[in-house]
Amino acid sequence: MTLSLPFDPTLEPQRQALATLIQRHAGEPHGPASAIDDLYLACYQEDIRGMPALAQPALCILAQGSKTLILGDEHYAYDPLHYMVVSVTLPISGALLKASPEQPALALRLDIDPAHLSQLIAESSPMVVPNRPSGRGLYVEKTDPQLLDALIRLVQLLDSPRDIPILAPLIRREIFYRLLRGPQGHRLYEIALANSQTHRVSQAIAWLNQHYQQPLRIEDLAREVNLSTSTLHHRFKAVTSMSPLQYQKQLRLQEARRLMLNDGLEAAVAGYRVGYESPSQFSREYSRLYGAPPIRDVARLRAHAG
């Protein structure tokens, strides 16, 4: 089976080099990190659809294949000519396309620690970052040769493990620097600035991820992150495409689905575990998100996995 790939003659040698490295070092999809902290490599040999996940801040790039993601009602797509950055924790779903044993999808993910960004900004000050209105905590941007070169050098360190402790942190800093200086680097820059509204939204997101089972009062959450209720609601939706309550609902339903699939919990028990008091409300909202009631959805997923 031959699949067409996005092609740019100026990037093709680097794309091929990165693809070769990923294929040589990749582990199982969703497996443990590589020998380099926060670096994950994966090789997918078949299309994967309907993958709900809680995306953490990260740089994601494909050396082969393509991927589409859904955030709220919005769709994003990237391929070897484009990279994706997630700047805050977001509940997403998506599909990995154009993968086969003959031409697998080859993926790289480098997790982003906002503390590392803050340190880099402090040490590089003044850093000139494009000043633009804030947007989503997820964006897709065109891949550039400098970024690809740094990623290749980072993955190449897996061939010389003794160099990893010294050189990997330096190359990781270079990668983060290039992301910050990129066309949409302001989105990462704001997350790292302690007094920015976007940083406070990221704190609200962290609080929701830790307390998603609890009843949510927007006034309490706004007070927790030192924002007015209206500002929190406006900025939260600007970053995540959803309100805090919608975000909490996605967290609850994703976790309930995981509990049913992985732990074998019954639907009513899973719903109660994530904070629902009414089984009928849980089933109704679950069906709205996943297109089928819990029992039918889980049965379908297990049949597909088998």
Strands, E assignment, the chain:
39-44, 53-55, 58-64, 66-71, 74-78, 82-86, 90-97, 105-111, 138-142
The total number of structural domains in the chain stands at 2
Residue 94, domain member (yes or no): yes
Residue 113, domain member (yes or no): yes
Residue 213, domain member (yes or no): no
Residue 5, domain member (yes or no): no
Q: 273 lies in which domain range?
A: 246-305
pLDDT tens-digit map of 146-190: 999 999 999 999 999 999 999 999 999 999 999 998 988 888 888
CA dist 52 and 62 (Å) reads 19
Average pLDDT over the chain, rounded to whole?
89
pLDDT tens-digit map of 224-272: 999 999 999 999 999 999 999 999 999 999 999 999 988 999 999 999 9
Which residue type is seen at 119? Answer: Q
Q: How many CB atoms lie within 10 A of CB 226?
A: 12
Which residue type is seen at 39? Answer: L
- Looking at the fold, whether 65 and 143 belong to one and the same domain comes out as yes
